[in-house]
Amino acid sequence: MTTLTQSTTWKALQTHTSQLPHMRELFAQNPQRFEQMSVTACGLFLDYSKNRVNDETLKLLFSLAKEAKLSEKITAMFNGDMINNTEQRAVLHTALRSKATQTIIAEGVNIVPEIQQTLAKMAKFVDSVQSGNWKGYTGKAITDIVSIGIGGSFLGPKIVSQALKPYWQGGLNCHFVANVDATSLCEKLKNLNAETTLFIMSSKSFNTQETLTNTLSAKDWFLAQGASQQDVAKHFVAVTSNVAKATEFGMDANNIFPMWDWVGGRYSLWSAIGLPIALLIGMDNFKDLLDGAHQMDEHFTNTPIEQNMPVIMAMLSVLYSNFHGSQAHVILAYDHYLRGLPAYFQQLDMESNGKSVTLDGTDVDYSTGPVIWGGEGTNGQHAYHQLLHQGTALIPADFIMPLQSHNPLGKHHDQLASNCFGQTQALMQGRTYDEALAELNNSSLEPAQIALIAKHKAMPGNKPSNTLLMDKLTPSTLGALIALYEHRTFVQGAIWQINSFDQWGVELGKQLGNDVLDRIGAPEEASQLDSSSNALINLYRKGQL
C-alpha cells in the first residue's frame, strides 16, 4: 500500500467530496464563484468554476500537492535532475524554449548554446527552402514537404502545423506520413513530383520500424522517378539524436538536425522535430510558439500553486480520477484549427501517466492517468455529448475556444461560442425531473406519457468542465496552451509518484511484433505460439479466408 492513500489529506478528501452539494447549489451559495475560480496566464483564461469544488476542496487539493513536494519536483525538472529514473535521463524540453541568455546544465554541460545553434541551423534551412534557394536535383525549388515520423515525432508537428494554418507562408505544402500501412505513404506520393519534394525523416532514436520502412520506401520512390543516389542529399534531411545511424543510412551530415536524450518524444515539438512547423509558418512564428511556451514555464515555476493554471487543472483531474471514480477526460476544441489537439493531448497524457507502479516500483493503489479523448465542437454535440450529459460515466471536459475567429463570417462565431458556453451550462445545471415535467405540461400527451418522457428528459447535471479561452489562436497562445497541458500532466504524475517520462508499455508490443514478422516470413507455418496467434499468422500467410 502506498503512503499517498494513507495520508490524512487523502482521507479528508474522500469524506469531503462525498458531502459536497450539487454545483447548482454551489453557484447559488456563492455569487463570487466565477471571479474566485478563474485565472489568467500567458494569454489564456481558465474558468474552473464549473467543477465539483468549494474553498475547502481546493484547500485540500493544494495540501495534497504540497505534501507531494510539488515545488521541489518542479525545481528538479527545470534544473535538469535525472527525474526519468528508469532511463537515467534529465527532462529538459523546457530548455528548448528558454532564453538564449539562460544557463541550463544537463550532465555537467550548459545546453543552451547547442539549442541556439540548432535553432540557427533551422532558421538558415527554413529561409533557404522558403525562398526557393534550396534547389532539387533538377534545379527546381521545393513545393512539398513530406514529414516521416511517428508518435512524438509526428503528432506535434502535424497538429501544430494544422492549428497554425493562418500563419503559413512561403507557399509550401506539408504531408505527414506516420503509419507503416503503405496506403498512407502511397496516397501522399501519388500527387507529388520528386523534383520539388523534400523528405524530413524525424526519429529521435533512428530506430523506429515504421519510420525506417517509410523512409526507405520514399527513397525507392524518389530514385524510381529518375533521380540518382547523389541527388538524395538534396531531398532527404533527418532530425535525430542518433547522428551516427542517420549518416550510416545515407543522410548528408550537413542535413542532420540534432536532438537530445533529455527531450522525450512526446515533448519534442519544440526541438528540431518542429522543423516541418517552422518550414510552414516561418522561423519568427516558430520562435513565438517557443516564447508562448516559455511564458507558461515562467508562470508554472513562479506562481503560487493556488493561482497556478497547470497545477489547478492537474489537481482537478486528480480530484475526479481519485475521488469520483472517473476514468476518462474529454478535450473539446471549439475551433476547427485546433481539431487535432485531443489526439495530441492523448499521447502526451496517456503515454506519460498510463503507469501502475511508483518511481520506486511500488504498485499503486489508486487510479493514475485517465483515458484522454475528444474532438471538435460543435460536431461532438451531435454525437458523443449525449453520453456526457446522461451517461453513467463521469467524464470531466475541457472546452477550449478563441474569442476571435481567424475567419469571421456572419454569425458563425457567435453560434460557435453560444454552443460552447451552452454545453458547459447544461452539463453543470442539468434539468430536474420537475423542470422536464413543467416543460411538457402544455403538450397534448397523456399524463402517463408526460411522466415517462420527463424521466428521459431529466439530466443530472453536476458534470464538471473547464473553459479555456484566448483572444485569438496565435503561435504564442498555442505554445502556452500546449505547455499548460505538459505541466498539467507533470503535476498529475508528481502527485501519483509515477515516472511520467518513460514508456516501457510500448516495448513488449514492438518486441512481439518483430517476432511475428519473422514467423510471417518463415518457411514453415507458425506453431510455437498460442493457438490464436498461430492461426492468425497462418491465415495471413495464406492471404485469404
Ligand X SMILES: O=P(O)(O)OC[C@H]1O[C@H](O)[C@H](O)[C@@H](O)[C@@H]1O
C-beta of 184: minimal distance to ligand X in Å? Answer: 15
> Which helix (H) or strand (E) is 258 found in, with range?
strand 256-258
Annotate each residue in 155-194 with x if it binds ligand X (CB under 6 A) or - if it does not, as one string. Answer: ----------------------------------------
The residue from 43, 80, 136, 152 that contacts ligand X (CB under 6 A) is: 152
DSSP state of 135: B
User: What are the backbone dihedrals phi and psi of residue 400, each rounded to the nearest 5 degrees, phi first?
Assistant: -125, 125
For residue 51, give the nearest of 465, 331, 489, 476 by alpha carbon: 465
Choices 94-102, 150-158, 474-482, 515-523 (CB under 6 A): range interacting with ligand X: 150-158
Nearer to ligand X (CB atom), residue 452 or residue 517? 517
User: With contact defined as beta carbons under 8 Å apart, do 239 and 200 qualify?
Assistant: yes
Q: Which amino acid is at 256?
A: I
What residue type is assigned to position 200 of the chain? I
Question: Closer to ligand X at the Cβ: 136 or 264?
Answer: 264
Segment contacting ligand X (CB under 6 A): 15-23, 130-138, 151-159, 479-487? 151-159
| DSSP sequence for 50-63 | SSS--HHHHHHHHH
The residues in 109-128 that bind ligand X, with binding defined as CB under 6 A, are none
Pairing of strands 44-47, 105-106: unpaired
| Locus of grid cell 544557463 | 103
Nearer to ligand X, 178 or 318 (CB): 178
CB of 481 to ligand X, least distance (A): 20
Contact 83, 76 (CB under 8 A): yes
Pick between residue 152 and residue 375 the one whose CB is nearest to ligand X: 152
Look up residue 84 and give its DSSP letter.
B
261 or 291, CB closer to ligand X? 261
Binding to ligand X (CB under 6 A) within 190-219 occurs at 203-205, 208, 211
Q: Per DSSP, which regions of 133-230 are E strands?
A: 144-148, 173-177, 197-202
Contacting ligand X within 42-71 (CB under 6 A): none
User: Looking at the chain, how many residues does it have?
Assistant: 545
Count of positions on this chain that bind ligand X (CB under 6 A): 14
b/e 396-415 (16+ beta carbons within 10 angstroms → b): bbbbbbbeebbeeeeeebee
Shortest separation between residue 151's beta carbon and ligand X, angstroms: 3
Among 265, 375, 380, 475, binds ligand X (CB under 6 A): 265
Residue numbers 319-358 binding ligand X by CB under 6 A: 351
User: What is the grid cell recorded at 9?
Assistant: 489529506
Considering beta carbons, is residue 208 or 492 the nearer one to ligand X? 208
Q: Per the structure block, which three cell numbers stand in for 355? A: 503507469
Q: Would you name the residues annotated as active-site residues?
A: 351, 382, 510
- By C-beta, is 265 or 310 nearer to ligand X? 265
Record the cell numbers describing residue 532, joined without a space: 490464436
CB of 509 to ligand X, least distance (A): 9
Site residues (CB under 6 A) for ligand X, limited to 500-539: 503, 506
Q: How far is CA 327 from CA 10, 323, 521, in A?
A: 18, 11, 40
Phi and psi angles of residue 84, each rounded to the nearest 5 degrees, phi first: -85, 85
Confirm or reject binding of residue 401 to ligand X (CB under 6 A).
no
Q: How far apart are CA 531 and CA 306, in angstroms?
A: 55
User: Is 499 an interacting residue with respect to ligand X (CB under 6 A)?
Assistant: no
Q: Which amino acid is at 28?
A: A
CA distance 103 to 189: 44
For residues 486 and 297, what is the distance between their CA atoms, to the nearest angstrom? 10
Q: How far is the CB of 88 from ligand X (least distance, A)?
A: 17
Determine if 235 is a binding residue for ligand X (CB under 6 A).
no
Query: Is 368 one of the binding residues for ligand X (CB under 6 A)?
Result: no
Comparison of 12 and 516: residue with beta carbon closer to ligand X: 516
| Residue 266 in contact with ligand X, rule: CB under 6 A | yes
Within residues 8-27, the interface with ligand X by CB under 6 A covers none
State how far the alpha carbon of 434 is from the alpha carbons of 24, 231, 257, 376, 450, in Å. Answer: 15, 74, 64, 33, 11
* Whole-angstrom distance, CA of residue 125 vs CA of residue 286: 13
Stretch that binds ligand X, among 102-110, 149-157, 218-226, 519-527 (CB under 6 A): 149-157
CA torsion sign for 94, 97, 100, 106 is: positive
User: 376 - beta bridge partners?
Assistant: 333
Nearer to ligand X, 85 or 205 (CB): 205
Fill in the per-residue mask, 420 to 459: x = in contact with ligand X (CB under 6 A), - = not in contact.
----------------------------------------
Provide the residue type at 40 as one letter: T
Distance between CA atoms of residues 35 and 506, nearest Å: 43
Tell me the closest approach of the beta carbon of residue 204 to ligand X, in angstroms. 4
- Choose, by CB under 6 A, the member of 151, 157, 292, 374 that binds ligand X: 151
Q: Of the candidates 150, 177, 454, 470, which one interacts with ligand X according to CB under 6 A?
A: 150
Least gap, CB of 351 to ligand X (angstroms): 6
Provide the binding-site residues for ligand X, judged by CB under 6 A: 150-153, 203-205, 208, 211, 265-266, 351, 503, 506
